[in-house]
């Protein structure tokens, strides 16, 4: 008597309808949103203050009962919002929103580009990209918009990386009015350097040697010619290496 025992064909014509289950699902969704907001707020605080995401102090400091009841030890055991993977995803979202706001501020106006190449601790080649522009109230801004991993440091590879960053942020080479690099041949080369590849597409993208790098070269050159200065920096380097090799030595020098 399948059809006669129930006044409602819940599983056949109208689908499953259980208000208790729906209520439980809404509660879980609400609790998850609370945990997500707390995680985002914590990530924002750590990023703003340049603090590590992991440390020796994992004490429970949340004093709002509504939040405390669904977070930390009270959260589901399979919750992953505190995992490094999720935290990196949240940080990546912050990064995209910040870069978007910078590029929206530039809009269709012109800007200069500053690029330098460097390898990280894992020995991956990468380039750092900075945009220099004047905002709507006439203030000059320099905004770091990211580090891009590259397979090599040839001028063509660097050009492709910059084109990709521009394309992803609605910017174009035609907007560039200045280039600032060091004197590495793959970047400042007159024929096949990065500056030349950009100038071939936009003749208004004037190249200027990075003044900070020029100043560094001058200081290093002068220091090496002065015996007392050279000896000072040599001894300073030894002290830094010795102190930085031990946490106890760091505490002692403090």
Contact 146, 80 (CB under 8 A): no
Task: For tokens 């010795």, name the residue.
Answer: 242
pLDDT category, 21, cuts 50, 70, 90? low
**For the chain, what is the mean pLDDT?**
77
Under a CB-based contact definition with an 8 Å cutoff, are residues 205 and 178 in contact? yes
Q: Is 220 helix (H, G, I), strand (E, B) or coil?
A: helix
Q: Are 178 and 206 in contact (CB under 8 A)?
A: yes
Q: Within a 10 A sphere around the Cβ of 197, how many other Cβ atoms?
A: 20
Q: What is the pLDDT, as a whole number, of residue 2? A: 47
Residues 186-203 have a mean pLDDT of 79
Residue 175 burial by CB count (10 A; 0-12/13-18/19+): exposed, middle or buried?
Answer: buried
Q: Name the E strands within 45-159.
A: 111-119, 125-134, 140-149
Instruction: Please tell me the predicted confidence (pLDDT) of residue 110.
Output: 93
Identify the CA nearest to 197 among candidates 153, 148, 159. Answer: 159
| 128/161 Cα distance (integer angstroms) | 11
pLDDT(109) > 70: yes
**Two structure tokens written together for 36:** 């997500």
Q: Measuring CA to CA, which residue among 231, 113, 223 is closest to residue 161?
A: 113
Report the distance separating Cα 171 and Cα 202, nearest Å. Answer: 14
Higher pLDDT, 27 or 104: 104
Beta bridge partners of 172: none
**Predicted pLDDT of residue 174:** 92
Burial class (CB in 10 A: 0-12, 13-18, 19+), 179: buried
SS3 196: helix
Q: Assign 251 a pLDDT band (cuts: 50, 70, 90).
A: confident
CA 225 to chain centre: 40
pLDDT tier at 1 (50, 70, 90 boundaries)? very low
- Kindly indicate the confidence band of residue 18, based on its pLDDT and cuts at 50, 70 and 90: low
Q: Which of 164, 159, 154, 112 lies closest to 133 in space, CA to CA?
A: 112
- The three-point CA angle 44-45-49 to 5° equals 115
Q: What is the percent of the chain with per-residue pLDDT over 70, rounded to a whole number?
A: 73
Per the DSSP assignment, residues forming a β-bridge with 156 are: none
Q: Tell me how far apart the alpha carbons of residues 127 and 87 are, in angstroms, rounded to a whole number.
A: 24
pLDDT at 48 over 70: yes
Is 0.75 surpassed by the pTM of this model?
A: no
CA distance 25 to 31: 10
The whole-angstrom separation of Cα 94 and Cα 47 is 10
């Amino acid at each position: 008597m399948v059809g006669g025992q129930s006044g409602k064909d819940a599983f056949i014509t109208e689908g499953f309808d259980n208000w208790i289950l729906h209520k439980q699902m809404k509660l879980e969704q609400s609790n998850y949103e609370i945990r997500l907001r707390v995680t985002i707020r914590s990530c924002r605080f750590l990023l703003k203050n340049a603090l590590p995401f992991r440390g020796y102090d994992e004490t429970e400091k949340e004093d709002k009962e509504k939040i405390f009841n669904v977070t930390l030890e009270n959260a589901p055991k399979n919750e992953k919002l505190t995992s490094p993977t999720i935290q990196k995803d949240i940080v990546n979202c912050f990064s995209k929103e910040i870069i978007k706001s910078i590029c929206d501020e530039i809009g269709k106006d012109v800007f200069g580009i500053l690029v330098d190449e460097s390898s990280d601790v894992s020995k991956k080649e990468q380039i750092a990209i900075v945009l220099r522009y004047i905002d709507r109230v006439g203030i000059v801004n320099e905004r770091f918009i990211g580090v891009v991993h590259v397979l090599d440091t040839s001028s063509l590879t660097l050009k492709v990386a910059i084109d990709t960053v521009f394309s992803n942020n609605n910017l174009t080479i035609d907007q560039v009015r200045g280039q600032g690099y060091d004197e590495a041949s793959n970047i400042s080369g007159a024929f096949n350097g990065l500056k030349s590849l950009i100038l071939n597409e936009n003749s208004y993208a004037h190249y200027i040697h990075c003044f900070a790098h020029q100043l560094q070269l001058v200081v290093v050159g002068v220091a090496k010619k002065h015996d007392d200065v050279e000896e000072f920096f040599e001894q300073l380097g030894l002290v830094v290496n010795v102190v930085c090799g031990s946490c106890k030595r760091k505490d002692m020098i403090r």
